[in-house]
Structure 1
Amino acid sequence: MAVIETAERMLPSGLRATLSPSLQKLGAILGDRSEKAASQRMALVAFVIRIASAALAFLSQIFLARMMGEFEYGIFVFVWVLMILFGNLACLGFHTAVIRFLPQYKADGAHAEIRGLTSTARRFALALSGSLALVGIIALHFLGGMIENYYVMPIFLGLIAMPMIALGDILDGTARANHWPVMALSPTFLIRPTLIITFMLAAILAGASHSAVTAMQAALAATFATVLMQYLAVTARLRHHYSTGPKVIDFPAWLAVAFPIFLIEGVSYLLTNSDVVVVGIFLDPEQVAIYFAAAKTMALVHFVYFSVKAAAGPRFASIIAENDRGKLAAFAAETARWTFWPALAVGLAVLAAGQFLLSLFGAAFMSGHLVMAVLLVGILAKALVGPGEVLLIMAGKQRLCVYLYAAALAANIGLNVTLIPHFGIEGAAIATASAMVVEAVLLHIAVRHALGIVLFAFIRSHMTTMNAKAS
């Protein structure tokens, strides 16, 4: 784009008036190709990071399970999932609102708004998550007798880590909005799990017990170290790209977008993690451990969806700003195909090796193989429509997403509560997979109804584009 503008300025005035429209059109084409290339690069980098992180997460969970045993490992994973869940929710949608606004501000050259948005999102997330953590600690002090004693100290440690988890999510969103995938994904998915294992091993070598408390202490230290490094790196890069200067803060406008996103992603995140939570409520830590190991093993498939989602958000926002419905439909169809076919290949490979992979956690964990098979059905159903919720959010259809995910969450919780007491962890898998199918069907209907786009991995690109134009 800079070359085109320079060439245009060097032309004589008469020739410039004649060629300027063509040069501007060429610049727009090159700019669109550059934007698409950036999205593809981000998808590729995110894909590679997710492969590495999936392997690392799998190995780290095997290490923790072997180190602690089923009971203590079950306590740790139940509490850690709760803290990750509430840390994410404490952002109140600002980690995604940054992705929604920053590319638009960047295109307009509104650097003051970018500085205001990024600083406000950090402070808000820290303030809200810190307040929630304080309330949780007070409640734990007065109501601790109502829960099992072995959960009390791990929950306390997790509450201290929660504000840093929230800040990390904001930094992740800021980096993703700027197409910095390594800076966005590697802290949470590579550095933090590595540090948890390192600190856990160091503590045990120093004489600490092989317990969930030790694991939570390691997780707390790893979270603080990781977020501090990410904060310094993202802040330095923001100052390099947007310099220092005045800040424009439009908190009401940001909150008006962030809060519906919070409702959508909050319900979606609850939908993703409610099975582990309900299993932890109804069953003993040993069963939580087996279910989590099976789900974590099958989660090797999820990195495909996450990689596409990480790249699709900013690209969706850019195309929507151009108001080109045909281009939007074509890119949406691509994201569905990018999600489904790799997920199918990886899912079948993981399921085939399921018994062996589960045995790495311990002999008792092999009973979770059926759980893996059931969960794969739900994962593939969701992959058929790709990151459809991201498309709806970036198109401003937050309210529709709220209703959609509320229905899917209600089905998930209702099925989990009904099936787990009768069928144990297999009931949790059936409930979770069924909820994924419901989610996929509702997303397909919602995107077609709201945007006129047929979002389905098997649909042909020209059919999707024609449908979008006709709407």
Structure 2
Amino acid sequence: MRFSAATTAGRFLPQRWALRMRPLLGRIDAVLFTADERGEAGRMSLIAFSIRIVSAFIAFVSQVLMARWMGSFEYGISVLVWVTMVIVGNLACLGFHTSVIRFIPEYRERGMLAELRGIVLASRLFVLVASTLIAGLGALGVWLASDWIENYYVIPFILGVICLPMIALGDLLQGLARANSWALLALSPTYLVRPVLILAFLALMLALHYVPDAKTAIFASIAATYVTTLGQLMAVTSRMEKKVPAGPMKVHFGQWILVSLPIFLVESFFFLLTNADVLMVGAYLDPNDVAVYFATVKTLALVHFVYFAVKAGVAQRYAQFTHGEPDKLAAFARETVSWTFWPSLLMALLVLVLGEPMLVLFGPEFTAGYPLLFLLVLGVVARAAVGPCESLLTMSGNQNICAAVYAMTLALNIGLNVLLIPLFGLWGAAIATSVAMVFEASALSFTVWRKLGIVMAIFVPAKKEVA
């Protein structure tokens, strides 16, 4: 049976949604199913895309319900805490959640099973220990700085750090599954299971007459995160044991950490860049503004998920082609630009049309974020227009310069936020984010061209020579 975006979406979405999205999904089939349509990367990207569709729907519905249940003030507090925990949890992997995607295919192709066993075990232990230490230091830091933090944030942040080890381990398990092209096992726990469980646990607690505030929401998040990650750990471990026979183990921790740390910088700068606006709004404005801005950003998730879905599917293939197949790498990389841009553009137009009625679902006050969508969407489309450049640089051994690009972009973003938010409020955050994303896309595309001779830009013809 042919595996297509249209049929996959039809399984997960209501019929009227599937019918409305048929033109978009047909376009996705056209760009994904080329002569190599049954290739590993195409299948994984398509599965990731389908999961992202369902995830965006689940995330939107859950955030609407949480905003309605808690009110904008408490919702804003819980949002800021959760976003911070997700960022720090991802950073606590110190790059291992991405470096395993580079090493595991290499070890498997070269028959280096001892090294393969080593990195699977060592990465888990390292991430669990590192994230636990960071969680402890984080809780201590919040307690020591409590006199300088708004009192309504102190307890939620101390509670939130309990999630950190499981968030970090979940990100690593996602990397291990992606390295083996287990798309459903990689993405469904984080993007489907966890948000559904958070909503279910929160609804249960409210039914048991818990106070509908940020602390209750964080308790629900803690329970959901532990259940999801432990379940994913058991599933990944079982599949790895079946795929890799027992035997001797070699640990090259020095080599792995040298590769992982630059990747850590890339991922941290990227993750901070993606969420810096929410954090900066939380630093300068009150929780009500955080709630409005976050709801607006969540509405943009319908555009973002195309880029992230393609990125999730192509990293392993980039790593494979990097080893002695430059022509295939260039052709495939150029193709992935189309995979990201055209669906993202169509989804951007859809979001601009439906944005206001979507935001009003959160509450009447949330429609204040609708005008921001027109500005924010420009940055998202600009990023999509150059494809997953950072994955291409990271998988080809150019993670250091990629980290430098993200450092400059993050500095620009934070600097603009510091300058513009006090002057223009939420508009300042939107301007800073859009400018930073356009700069990021331009700088990454230029870097790929200079380093690899590959033109990653949707409307720029390919050139083979490197300037």
Give me the TM-score of the superposition, normalised by structure 1. 0.90
Q: Measure the CA separation in 1 of the matches of 2:63 and 2:145.
A: 31
Over residues 97-128 of structure 1, what are the superposed CA-to-partner deviations in whole Å (9 max), with x where a residue is unaligned? 00010000111122221111011111111111
| Residue in structure 2 matched with residue 442 of structure 1 by the alignment | 443
Correspondence for 1:278 among 272, 277, 280: 280
Paired AA for residue 211 in structure 2 = S
| Residue in structure 1 matched with residue 302 of structure 2 by the alignment | 300
| Distance change (3 Å), C-alpha of 1:266 and 1:338 | same
Over residues 248-292 of structure 1, what are the superposed CA-to-partner deviations in whole Å (9 max), with x where a residue is unaligned? 111011111000000111111111111000000000000000000
Q: Measure the CA separation in 1 of the matches of 2:283 and 2:153.
A: 12
1:123 aligns with 2:125: yes
Amino-acid identity (%): 50
| Residue in structure 2 matched with residue 432 of structure 1 by the alignment | 433
| Residue in structure 1 matched with residue 356 of structure 2 by the alignment | 355
More helix by share: 1
Over residues 159-178 of structure 1, what are the superposed CA-to-partner deviations in whole Å (9 max), with x where a residue is unaligned? 01101100000000000000
Q: Measure the CA separation in 1 of the matches of 2:163 and 2:455.
A: 42
| Residue in structure 2 matched with residue 16 of structure 1 by the alignment | none
| Residue in structure 1 matched with residue 255 of structure 2 by the alignment | 253
Q: Measure the CA separation in 1 of the matches of 2:348 and 2:138.
A: 38
Q: Measure the CA separation in 2 of the matches of 1:264 and 1:403.
A: 8
Matched residue count: 433
| Residue in structure 1 matched with residue 199 of structure 2 by the alignment | 197
Over residues 24-55 of structure 1, what are the superposed CA-to-partner deviations in whole Å (9 max), with x where a residue is unaligned? xxxxxxxxx98971111101111100100011
Q: Measure the CA separation in 1 of the matches of 2:236 and 2:368.
A: 43
1:381 aligns with 2:382: yes
SS state at 2:425 partner? helix
Kept in 2, the 8 Å contact 1:36–1:315? The answer is no
Q: Measure the CA separation in 2 of the matches of 1:197 and 1:361.
A: 15
| Residue in structure 2 matched with residue 100 of structure 1 by the alignment | 102
| Residue in structure 1 matched with residue 53 of structure 2 by the alignment | 51
What is the CA distance between 1:57 and its match in structure 2? 0.5
Q: Measure the CA separation in 2 of the matches of 1:97 and 1:388.
A: 16
SS state at 1:453 partner? coil
Q: Measure the CA separation in 2 of the matches of 1:411 and 1:121.
A: 33
Kept in 1, the 8 Å contact 2:118–2:250? The answer is yes
1:312-331, aligned counterparts within 5 Å? 312-321=314-323, 323-331=324-332
Paired AA for residue 345 in structure 2 = L
Kept in 2, the 8 Å contact 1:333–1:459? The answer is no
What is the CA distance between 1:141 and its match in structure 2? 2.6
Q: Measure the CA separation in 1 of the matches of 2:450 and 2:173.
A: 34
Kept in 1, the 8 Å contact 2:84–2:279? The answer is yes
| Residue in structure 1 matched with residue 417 of structure 2 by the alignment | 416
SS state at 2:387 partner? coil
| Residue in structure 1 matched with residue 347 of structure 2 by the alignment | 346
Q: Measure the CA separation in 2 of the matches of 1:108 and 1:275.
A: 43
Paired AA for residue 373 in structure 2 = M
| Residue in structure 1 matched with residue 114 of structure 2 by the alignment | 112
| Residue in structure 2 matched with residue 452 of structure 1 by the alignment | 453
Kept in 1, the 8 Å contact 2:143–2:154? The answer is no
Kept in 1, the 8 Å contact 2:118–2:251? The answer is yes
| Residue in structure 2 matched with residue 27 of structure 1 by the alignment | none
Q: Which region of structure 1 is more displaced relative to structure 2, 76-85 or 112-121?
A: 112-121
SS state at 2:300 partner? helix
Over residues 355-374 of structure 1, what are the superposed CA-to-partner deviations in whole Å (9 max), with x where a residue is unaligned? 10000000000010111111
Paired AA for residue 147 in structure 2 = G
What is the CA distance between 1:299 and its match in structure 2? 1.7
Kept in 1, the 8 Å contact 2:58–2:192? The answer is yes
1:146 aligns with 2:143: no
Kept in 1, the 8 Å contact 2:68–2:362? The answer is yes
| Residue in structure 1 matched with residue 230 of structure 2 by the alignment | 228
Q: Measure the CA separation in 1 of the matches of 2:36 and 2:301.
A: 32
Kept in 2, the 8 Å contact 1:295–1:371? The answer is no
| Residue in structure 2 matched with residue 333 of structure 1 by the alignment | 334
| Residue in structure 2 matched with residue 87 of structure 1 by the alignment | 89
Correspondence for 1:40 among 39, 42, 56: 42
1:180 aligns with 2:188: no
Q: Measure the CA separation in 2 of the matches of 1:271 and 1:62.
A: 25
What is the CA distance between 1:142 and its match in structure 2? 2.7
| Residue in structure 1 matched with residue 311 of structure 2 by the alignment | 309
Paired AA for residue 129 in structure 1 = S
Give me the TM-score of the superposition, normalised by structure 2. 0.91
Q: Measure the CA separation in 1 of the matches of 2:280 and 2:43.
A: 38
What is the CA distance between 1:324 and its match in structure 2? 1.9
Q: Measure the CA separation in 1 of the matches of 2:450 and 2:102.
A: 22
1:157 aligns with 2:172: no
What is the CA distance between 1:143 and its match in structure 2? 2.5
Q: Measure the CA separation in 2 of the matches of 1:379 and 1:75.
A: 26
Over residues 59-105 of structure 1, what are the superposed CA-to-partner deviations in whole Å (9 max), with x where a residue is unaligned? 11001101100000000000100000000000000000000100001
SS state at 1:195 partner? helix
Q: Measure the CA separation in 2 of the matches of 1:243 and 1:457.
A: 44
Q: Measure the CA separation in 1 of the matches of 2:67 and 2:145.
A: 29
Larger radius of gyration: 1
| Residue in structure 2 matched with residue 397 of structure 1 by the alignment | 398
Paired AA for residue 272 in structure 2 = L
